[in-house]
Structure 1
Amino acid sequence: MNTFMQRNENAPSRPLDTVLRERFGLTGFRPGQREVIDALLGPGAAALAVFPTGGGKSLCYQLPALMLDGITVVVSPLIALMKDQIDALERQGIRAAKLDSSQSLDDAREVTQALRDGAIKLLYVAPERFNNERFLSLLRELRIALFAVDEAHCVSEWGHNFRPDYLKLAKAARDVSAERLLALTATATPSVVRDICQGFGIPESNAVITGFYRQNLTLETTPVEAEDRDALLLERLNTRPPGPTIIYVTLQKTAERVATFLAAKGLPAQAYHAGLESEVREQVQERWMTSGNGIVVATIAFGMGIDKANVRAVYHYNLPKGLESYSQEIGRAGRDGAPSVVELFACPDDVPTLENFAHGDTPTAEAIQGLVTELLDMGPELSLNLYALSTQHDVRQLVLRTALTYLELEGVLRQGTPYFVGYKVQPLVTLEELVGRFKGERAKFLRDVFAAAKKGRTWYTLEPTVVAESLQQPRERVVKALEYLQEQGLVLTQVTEPRQHYTRLHSDKGADALSTLLVRRFQQREAQEVARVQAVLKLVTHTGCQSNALVSHFGQWREAPCGHCTFCRTGEAQVLPATRPRPSLPAKLDVAAFRALVARHPEALSHPRQSARFLCGLSSPALTRAKLGGHALFGALDAWPFAEVLGFCRQTMT
């Protein structure tokens, strides 16, 4: 049953076409846009927009935001998208803002006041923001006309980019009495569409899917040996018409090497990846955005939320990790409708690296058992240091948050508002002057707070919980007092030691049953990620129109061949080169040195899966703490499939 009900008095009065023309300067809607907006403004008050990358999803919430009384909240994990859209809206005279952890207290306070004053029409936030009870309280004060969730495929744990915090967004929308809900994504298989509709209470009849077929994209798949890729890429770039180009690679070191190689050949290529300083990434992106022939060699960290219409070519130097990623990445080419080429260099030697990423995220059964047992032994109120918990059990933080979300879904835990254990406070006036601004009990309370703190040269250090207990006051009063002093410009504050608060709920499942359930779910996800890689290879070797095969993965059926994919052009199915033979393990490995290393670092390497991660070059919290990422043996077997390396480790360590 749909729970988002439109208020009658909030019905828009102006025609859609008028607002489209007057506020956005557009003369017509793109496919699907009007249907989505009609669904939002109609009795159902909820819709799902599945549009291809560059298909105009943002207009589906920006236009209604101007027509409705109240605020439109846009939830997106893409900081770049938030900034770009806010800047564009401001240029159109539409007041928009964001709230995120990078903002100063003054900036956040200014946005909060503008929301209360009704001066903001669109508010952009990340999904993690809804774990903050204070933020939810703010939204409950406001009229939320529309709650829009971008990248909505993240709600599906069987989708290609599952994010645990997305599972809570539907409940958050109801908690803040949102009048309408809009989910948006560029990539969703039929099963993910069902998950989104079910999760957000959207009638499936209000799911608007415009299709994934792009007539202006020439889709090429080229089987190639690993050592021939550089020459092939160079030949393509030199013989095809120049234009803005993206070259996707898997690893950061590959991005650097290929960019250096192309630059040495006189091409305007630069690397972009998450390992670069943020200023460098911004410079690379800005230079490429303003260039008419720039080339960026990038990991998948590049492209999300970037709106450049004239990208003429997208090359996949390495295999993408799945058809969902592939579709999203090639969708960045030719958004202006002009002919563009997307080419995939298909090399089976890439498969172990991609599959190993999936294996690297799967925790050991022992780690899950230890984690669940510890959580259940903590009592009714849990204060979790996620960094420490991640390191202690050697579980990556994203995997840890996923496990905690699974426990929430099982009714074992309920997450509360995150908080900080420690505060550092620097008075900007003398303590006597600060306290003197207050009278009576409030003045005494502040004096006692500072007396209970540890005084340094200029900073006071305190734990609000400890101070509150010593003063027999609520912790919240101590925190609010410090925040008030900061707002008044009387002190500077810094927070330390973040904690996640959870409440233990009644559950009839014990540690063993819950551990088994979590292990099974992580194993299912691992198998699914491995299958995604194989689906890419099947597309390359498909006998028939590859464009049609790609869109069929997303539930779109086309009968006529496209005429502009490799199969349609050649009439032949592609044949992958044979995987280069690898010597049997333990080739390339100094087994004696490895055994000695395991003996010295049992907390990081004693489990066969931990050792296999290390040898495949997959980091983990325990490896990071032991500073083993720079060891000569780290990644020594990264060209071998994880399953082979795991089998070798089991045999070697028994």
Structure 2
Amino acid sequence: MSDDFGLSSDEEADLVAATDEVVNGKRSHHSDHELVSGNLKKRARIGCVTNRSDSPSIVLANKILKERFGLHGFRLEQEAAIARILDGGSAVVVFPTGGGKSLCYQVPAVCFRYQDEEAGRRISQSNGVSLVISPLIALMKDQVDALLRRGIKAAVLNSSVSRDYYLATQDDLRNGRLDLLYCAPERLNSEGFIASLKDIPGGIRLLAVDEAHCISEWGHSFRPDYLKIARFAKEANVERVVCLTATATEKVSKDIRDAFSIPSEGLFQTTMYRPNLRLLAEANAKGTDYVAKLITHLRKHPGPTIIYVTLQKGTEVLADELKQRGFPARPYHAGMSTDVRIKTQDDFLASKNMIVVATIAFGMGIDKSDIRNIVHFDIPDSIESYSQQIGRAGRDGKPSVCMFYVSTKDFYLRNIFTYGARPSLRSLKVLLADLCSPERKKLRAGDTFTVSLYTQAKDVDIGAITLGIIYAQLELHFKLFRAAGTLYTTYKYTTKDPNAISKDMTPAACIIKKSAFKATKWTHIAVDDLANTSKLERADFVRKLNQWNEQGAIELKTEGVRNSFRLERPLPSTQKEIDDIIKQLDESMGSTEQMNLDRTKSLIHLITDKKCFSRALAGYFGETGNNAPEECGHCTWCETHTQVLLPNEPPQPPNPAKVQKVLDKISVRDDPRFLAKVAFGIKSPRAGDLKVYSSGVFESMDVCDFTELLKVFTAACKADEKEA
């Protein structure tokens, strides 16, 4: 039976049996190494103690575990990690999916109040708060709901909460009524939010960073906003940090530790080996009836199932085919409405036979112990992703099957994402020219400027995610500016209490009432114009409108998001400086592209090697010794000792006639990478603007190697340049 915190006791029993030597080899913890961060200013706190079963920290942790969480004992490395945190140290926790990572910050968050009372501290002030950074909105809500059911004071601040909830949470923070606060990493881009966190009475006792592999550029899902968390920890004087992830190689673990100056003894890791998971793989050649093979597999292995595919459209097509064959299948992807996604997830959690055909948007934080099948209909992007996804099966400890279908066609889909993410040199030049415009070059350190990243992404032909990474690099590596939050270009409202508005005679209210433009339904306010033509600041008008909204006097609606940045130093003024930044960004993007290609190749090598899958997984994540057997006995290699061989279907060389057709249909010659993307079938804003999707050349050379296409179109562009 699974508890509210994503950890099945049956599964833990199996893990303990399989990893007895790991448990008996727990690390020792010496007081002279119990550091939070070498650069953090720390207040006096409980001294670190040796990790003994009778230590005050362990006794308290077990008491809280039983009384507040309803569990009777910690498993594997949980107790050691929690003891370190309670003794004042920081930690990195690498447990497999379903391994109980959340308890490693939830238990300490509750324990702090008891520690303070025993030490006679903080009696007349707030006990502070534990801040949890997580990118998963659904997971945050589920955990907060579970904690509240346990009588533990927790709240979440993300884009899904109402204004009233936000205000109530802020009041709880100011008055020390919260043990845990959950928020997304993007919140740390808001100067106002950071300021409110720094002013929390009692401070931030513990900073928990979920999905911490996102910190590392070597990680499989690097997120630039995660790099800002370590900076925030120093600036907010955070007492201690715990970073948590289900997948981390030795290099990624070191990156995480280095970001927060956590010594090696602060790493707590349990084996990836799952004795109840049968890991199977099959290679499919062109012409294979994939759906027929899948149906045979599903009939042989019934039960709740997640089938992972790459494209959103693919989830709908495959789910429909399965449904027509009598299977209770439904699609799931990020493009669906929130209501449909929530309904699908809730129905899956309650079902005993439902099949969800999903992109990677599904499964993160899913607390379902009886998933019997994981099927990779398309290849994932890395060993880390594969490991995370199969980890969602069989959390109840019962036998479960993970099938991996691999074919050369999958590389085309995967390469669309890999090559599509890298911006061209031309796009980087356009971006830096826009960013370092003559107007912005006049700004000084401390001045702010705003950008609509949505509009800019289209203008410079760079995807939104990649553009966010570039801005993070400009902020963290080049130290040009600092994200200062977001603002809106459009404010409008409908009046709910005219009397309250008419009685408000403050300067901001008077100017708003005098200048407002009333349309059929909405009253429009040009806040920027008001700031320019009055003695008040823009913030004064925004604050007044929000105040009316909070009081129920109006219903406020905002549109047109713009990101605000505060300059750390003047923007580059010479072309040489700008060219140097472009060169470094291009090299960085090239390295990322190659890393992503190598990750996919490593996964294919793991599946097609003459080696036990379980052993290979353990080796990839740095497990040595007896953490996993030489042969598990329950993977394709161990069961058959027959190598899974990829069909010999090499890419075709670029067809000169098709190359010429692309050049005839698309007149631009300033970006060979753009032309290669068109031929390969990679969509982009510029391709839409030039109407290439209906030109007959889009995706016309998807059987070729992208790098060969790039060479051909680079040569063609250079030849045209010489002729001109």
TM class by shorter chain equals: over 0.9
Distance 1:574 1:9 in 2: 55
Residue in structure 2 matching 1:422, options 475, 481, 490: 490
1:49-128 matched pairs, under 5 angstroms: 49-68=93-112, 69-128=127-186
Q: 1:219–1:343: 8 Å Cα contact kept in structure 2?
A: yes
Displacement after TM superposition at 1:349 (Å): 2.2
1:133-144 matched pairs, under 5 angstroms: 133-142=191-200, 143-144=203-204
User: Cα distance 1:413–1:25, how it changes in 2: closer, same or farther (>3 A)?
Assistant: same
Distance 2:248 2:653 in 1: 40
User: Cα distance 1:640–1:252, how it changes in 2: closer, same or farther (>3 A)?
Assistant: farther
**Structure 1 range deviating more: 379-388 or 20-29:** 379-388
Q: 1:598–1:606: 8 Å Cα contact kept in structure 2?
A: no
1:20 aligns with 2:83: no
User: Cα distance 1:433–1:98, how it changes in 2: closer, same or farther (>3 A)?
Assistant: closer
CA deviations on 1:254-306 (whole Å, 9 max, x unpaired) are 22222222222222222222232222222222222111121111111111111
Distance 2:496 2:185 in 1: 35
* Structure 2 counterpart of 1:253: 313
* Structure 1 counterpart of 2:563: 500
Residue in structure 1 matching 2:299, options 198, 222, 238: 238
Displacement after TM superposition at 1:595 (Å): 4.4
Distance 2:324 2:455 in 1: 45
Q: 2:611–2:637: 8 Å Cα contact kept in structure 1?
A: yes
Distance 1:221 1:530 in 2: 21
Displacement after TM superposition at 1:557 (Å): 2.1
Give the match's secondary structure for 2:76.
coil
Give the match's secondary structure for 1:8.
coil
**Structure 1 range deviating more: 488-497 or 204-213:** 488-497
1:164 aligns with 2:232: no
Counterpart AA for 2:45:
N
Give the match's secondary structure for 2:275.
coil
Residue in structure 2 matching 1:575, options 626, 640, 645: 645
Q: 1:146–1:182: 8 Å Cα contact kept in structure 2?
A: yes
CA deviations on 1:375-421 (whole Å, 9 max, x unpaired) are 23323332111112211111111111111111112222222222223
Unaligned runs of 5+ residues in structure 1 are none
User: Cα distance 1:270–1:580, how it changes in 2: closer, same or farther (>3 A)?
Assistant: farther
User: Cα distance 1:117–1:629, how it changes in 2: closer, same or farther (>3 A)?
Assistant: farther
Q: 2:666–2:692: 8 Å Cα contact kept in structure 1?
A: no
Displacement after TM superposition at 1:640 (Å): 3.4
* Structure 1 counterpart of 2:702: 638
1:215-234 matched pairs, under 5 angstroms: 215-226=275-286, 227-234=288-295
* Structure 2 counterpart of 1:275: 335
1:566 aligns with 2:636: yes
* Structure 1 counterpart of 2:597: 530
Q: 1:127–1:169: 8 Å Cα contact kept in structure 2?
A: yes
* Structure 1 counterpart of 2:623: 556
1:348 aligns with 2:408: yes
Residue in structure 2 matching 1:517, options 584, 605, 629: 584
Distance 2:500 2:296 in 1: 73
Residue in structure 2 matching 1:383, options 419, 436, 450: 450
Distance 1:552 1:179 in 2: 34
Distance 1:365 1:253 in 2: 31
Displacement after TM superposition at 1:623 (Å): 3.1
* Structure 2 counterpart of 1:199: 259
Counterpart AA for 1:35:
A
Displacement after TM superposition at 1:72 (Å): 1.5
* Structure 2 counterpart of 1:374: 434
Counterpart AA for 1:569:
E
Q: 1:349–1:580: 8 Å Cα contact kept in structure 2?
A: no
Unaligned runs of 5+ residues in structure 2 are 1-36, 49-55, 113-126
Q: 1:612–1:646: 8 Å Cα contact kept in structure 2?
A: yes
* Structure 2 counterpart of 1:33: 78
Q: 1:217–1:342: 8 Å Cα contact kept in structure 2?
A: yes
Displacement after TM superposition at 1:641 (Å): 3.0
* Structure 1 counterpart of 2:515: 452
CA deviations on 1:523-561 (whole Å, 9 max, x unpaired) are 000011111111111112212222111121111124632
Give the match's secondary structure for 2:430.
helix
Q: 2:500–2:553: 8 Å Cα contact kept in structure 1?
A: no
Distance 1:626 1:405 in 2: 30
Distance 1:391 1:385 in 2: 10
* Percent of aligned positions that are identical: 38
**Structure 1 range deviating more: 562-571 or 322-331:** 562-571
**Structure 1 range deviating more: 312-321 or 464-473:** 464-473
Counterpart AA for 1:645:
L
Distance 2:693 2:144 in 1: 40
Give the match's secondary structure for 1:219.
strand
Displacement after TM superposition at 1:188 (Å): 0.8
Residue in structure 2 matching 1:8, options 25, 41, 45: 45
* TM-score (ref. length: structure 1): 0.92
Give the match's secondary structure for 1:55.
coil
CA deviations on 1:76-98 (whole Å, 9 max, x unpaired) are 11111112112212222223221
1:487 aligns with 2:550: yes
Give the match's secondary structure for 1:136.
helix
* Structure 1 counterpart of 2:686: 622
Distance 2:41 2:622 in 1: 27
User: Cα distance 1:153–1:5, how it changes in 2: closer, same or farther (>3 A)?
Assistant: same
Distance 1:523 1:73 in 2: 35
Q: 1:50–1:184: 8 Å Cα contact kept in structure 2?
A: yes
Displacement after TM superposition at 1:131 (Å): 0.9
The count of corresponding residues between Structure 1 and Structure 2 is 641
Counterpart AA for 1:107:
Y
Q: 1:419–1:498: 8 Å Cα contact kept in structure 2?
A: yes
Q: 2:45–2:88: 8 Å Cα contact kept in structure 1?
A: no
CA deviations on 1:122-148 (whole Å, 9 max, x unpaired) are 211110011112211221221322111
Counterpart AA for 1:32:
E
Displacement after TM superposition at 1:633 (Å): 4.4
User: Cα distance 1:243–1:175, how it changes in 2: closer, same or farther (>3 A)?
Assistant: same
